[in-house]
Amino acid sequence: MNRNIKIAIDLDGVLTEHPGPLALAANDRYGLTLPESAFVDSAGHSVSLETREWVYGVDGPASKLVAAPQARQFLSRIVAEFGAENVFIITARPELSEEMTAKWLGQNNLDVCPVIYTDDKVEVALRLGITHAVEDSQRHAAAYAAAGMTAFYLIDGKTPVPDGIANPVIDLLDAAARLIANSRPVTPPQRPRIIISDPIDPAARAELVREAEVTDVDGTDVAALRAAVADAEGWVVRSETLVDQDTIQAASKLRVIARAGVGVDNIDVAAATAAGVLVLNAPGSNSVSAAEHTIAIMLGLSRQLTDANASMQSGQWERKRFKPFDFKGKTAGIVGLGRVGCEIAKRLAAFEMDVIAHDPYVPIERFSELGVEPVPFLDLLARSDIVTFHCPLTDETRGMLNGETIQLLKPNALVVNCARGGVVDDDALAEALDFGRIAGAGVDVFPHEPVEHTVLSGRPNVILTPHIGGSSVEAQAAVGDIISRTTLAALRGETVPNAVNLPTSSIDAGDLRRLTTMAGAAGHLLSVLEPETPESFVLTVHGRAAQDIVEFVLTSALSEALRRWTSDRVTPVNARIVAEQHGLELRVNSVDSGPANVIEFAFEVHNDQTHHVTVRWDTGQVGIVEVDRFSLGQPLAGDMLITHHRDRPGIIGHIGMILGQHDVNIAGMQVGRHQRGGEALMVLNVDDVIPKDALTGILALDDIQTAYVVSLPAPEVPRTSPADDEALST
């Protein structure tokens, strides 16, 4: 209970109906022309004392006023929050009205706090230490405010708010909510905890620190790492940290693993997916840096720069010993035509080299665009003067260049590996160098990093660098920017474009967020309608939707439902896996029908009964428009009571009476039926929590089949400017 607030509440027009009837009665009795608003502020309108005493007499017109619709609920909330000793009714009624007023308050169950009668409200309020006031008189509200109190001015919602009124409220419940909100300290949102286990760009780290609790830990210290990730929600790594299944399973709160770079072979993505953890990377951010580093190694090898430099540094002049060669007219073979491979192909073309490449997963059009000849891997080895690797490390690519395949290389060939350690067998490479089967090698990556010793060390025709291909200042800044922004966005629940284990979205980030939020709401509603894990979960798409959008919608709804159906940790990342583990059959159907700009996602779950929820997506606006085959006039949102009942006279009234008995205010209602006297569905939006006893009473009504209490988010209205929902593009 908050005891630091004291509140003054006006009586006429605030706790009573509008006092217009008092002016009409006075005009009839005394032949006056008082305006209808005269008794909103009778002193301000110079109403005579005689008239006021008659109006507020024992049997005067004021005794017959009706209480304001929300008066009892308002006072109950305020007294419960602040205590009866801190709530005062301060009225300009004359003191002789005390007996009548006390009787009226008692009859309306409003006699819960002291009543003070005075024409000078502000003086009394200052003496009592009043901090807040609720008024329907502009003069009194302004006077309270001028004296340093927070005054809430009750308006009718039809006339403009007068100048100088800072806190208009539309009704008493709005006033109660504002009073309570004003009295409570603002609690900052809990900051997520992020660990960083490899060095990242300082600006990126600073960005993370602004919104999260950041802890640095040595990624090579397994014990310290597992202790640190136990409470972490986000984890930022580069290439030196090994993110394995055991560590992921030890991190029960982990939601995001962010790789500050491109390759994710040091992350067990399958284990992360099974645990519902989103994996991010920074594709394209360091491609130019990696390409330039690769070409620098190629040039260093072809010009024998490191050996020549060592010779000069030792005082030698061995000009005749070195035999560099030109790139022009030579053949370069690129293994892996991804982002880095493409950048290298562009640059090698400028050297007038013949560029060939091997990548079975790249469309032939990309080769043509780059002017690169596609060839099988073994042919590439046999034809190339320089072979450079730029593919991920997978079971398919591990040891691609080994003791057998290396035999195909020309004796003057150069081998460069700036992709991943393990793609090239370093032992086989060292042996080929020792026996003169190739001319030189450049290596930036190793099977185990950091490297204490490699078999490639100590050779003049080998260039070794400590995995710095993508580590230029510019590249690290770009990587850090992408990773810091998207990690924080993902932890806020936003959709990001650089997820490794979720599909890439084909629509704007804002539209996707609105759609997946409402799909999640549909899944939650399904789990309320069917509280036990169903036999099947079916999504039928009416209209043309891209496959990635269908997958986002399905997994968003499914994950929300599974959170109630199971005790598992479920996110859209692992929703399909968890569903399979629980024997839940998933089906997706597509019906190409309806307007081109309207798509409906119809969800169905089946156990003993079948339940349906439909989400409509209409040019950016999205909402739940159908429940159990009953169409709704307005999309579902907010706190609701949903009933299935027999369409009988009086049933809605009975439900309203039960809610009223439990002080539950009804904010809105929708009713649907297929035929008179048949099954009907009702949705009641409410302002208050529905107690268990109220729900029990509703379920006991003869014609009620089922009743559910559910809370859903309001549909988010799309913004008009595309810049308002700028995608986190890379």
Task: Give the active site residues.
Answer: 420, 449, 467
The candidate with the shortest Cα–Cα distance to 557, out of 497, 617, 500, 506, is 617
- At which residue do the structure tokens 């067990």 appear? 268
What is the Cα–Cα distance from 7 to 144, expressed in whole angstroms?
A: 11
Question: Are 709 and 690 spatial neighbours (Cβ–Cβ below 8 Å)?
Answer: yes
The candidate with the shortest Cα–Cα distance to 17, out of 61, 51, 47, is 61
The candidate with the shortest Cα–Cα distance to 74, out of 98, 108, 117, is 108
Contacts of 303 (CB under 8 A, 6+ apart): 324
At 183 the three-state DSSP class reads helix
Tell me the one-letter amino acid at 175: A
How far, CA to CA in Å, does 39 sit from each of 61, 78, 117, 135, 172?
11, 25, 15, 13, 19
Tell me the one-letter amino acid at 507: I
Residue 454: both structure tokens together: 């490699």
Write out the E strands in 368-447.
Answer: 373-374, 386-389, 414-417, 440-443
Helix 121-128 with 138-146: angle, nearest 10 deg: 40
Residue 338: both structure tokens together: 């991804």
At 172 the three-state DSSP class reads helix
What is the Cα–Cα distance from 137 to 40, expressed in whole angstroms?
A: 6
Residue 335: both structure tokens together: 């293994």
CA 411 and chain centroid, separation: 57
What is the Cα–Cα distance from 432 to 434, expressed in whole angstroms?
A: 5
DSSP string, 476-532: HHHHHHHHHHHHHHHHTT---TTBSSSPPPSS-HHHHHHHHHHHHHHHHHHHHHS-S
Vertex 167: Cα angle to 163 and 168 (nearest 5):
75
- At which residue do the structure tokens 């780290």 appear? 205
Please name the residue ranges forming H helices in 185-221: 202-211
